[in-house]
Amino acid sequence: MATHLPVIGGHAEGFGKTQRSDGWWVGPGITFAVFSTFIVYTTWAALQGNHYYTDPYLSPFYSPLIFVEPNSLAHGGAPVDMAWFGMWPSWFPHLIPASPAILILVFPGAFRFTCYYYRKAYYRSFAGSPPACAVGPLTIKRKYKGETSLLLFQNLHRYAMYFALVFIVLLGKDAFESFFRDGQPGIGVGSLIMTINVVLIASYTFGCHSFRHLIGGRKDCMSHCGKETIALGSFKQATWFNSRHMQFAWMSLIWVMVTDLYIRLCSMGVIHDFNTWS
Could you tell me which stretch among 110-118, 144-152, 172-180, 230-238 binds ligand FES (CB under 6 A)? 110-118
Name beta bridge partners: 181. 184
12/151 with CB nearer ligand FES:
151
56/207 with CB nearer ligand FES:
207
Does residue number 213 form part of the binding site for ligand FES (CB under 6 A)? no
Which of positions 1-40 make contact with ligand FES (CB under 6 A)?
none
Could you tell me which stretch among 24-32, 181-189, 192-200, 207-215 binds ligand FES (CB under 6 A)? 207-215
Could you tell me which stretch among 114-122, 172-180, 188-196, 263-271 binds ligand FES (CB under 6 A)? 114-122
Could you tell me which stretch among 85-93, 141-149, 208-216, 252-260 binds ligand FES (CB under 6 A)? 208-216
DSSP β-ladder status, 184-185 and 180-181: antiparallel
- Which of 122, 134, 156 has its CA nearest to residue 29? 122
Does residue number 162 form part of the binding site for ligand FES (CB under 6 A)? no
Question: Using DSSP, how many helices (H) and how many strands (E) does the chain show?
Answer: 8, 4
Does residue number 210 form part of the binding site for ligand FES (CB under 6 A)? yes
CA 246, chain centre distance (Å):
11
Which of positions 241-260 make contact with ligand FES (CB under 6 A)?
245
- Which of 123, 260, 127 has its CA nearest to residue 194? 260
DSSP 195-235: HHHHHHHHHHHHT-HHHHIIIIIT-S---BTTBPPHHHHHH
The distance of closest approach from Cβ of residue 210 to ligand FES in the complex, given in angstroms and rounded to an integer, is 5
For residues 271 and 182, is the Cβ–Cβ distance under 8 A?
no
For residues 194 and 259, is the Cβ–Cβ distance under 8 A?
yes
Does residue number 153 form part of the binding site for ligand FES (CB under 6 A)? no
Does residue number 264 form part of the binding site for ligand FES (CB under 6 A)? no
Q: How far apart are CA 119 and CA 137, in angstroms?
A: 16
Say what angle helices 189-206 and 157-177 make with each other, to 10 degrees: 160
Among the listed residues 15, 84, 116, 153, the single contact to ligand FES using CB under 6 A: 116
The residues binding ligand FES (CB under 6 A) are: 115-117, 157, 161, 208-210, 245
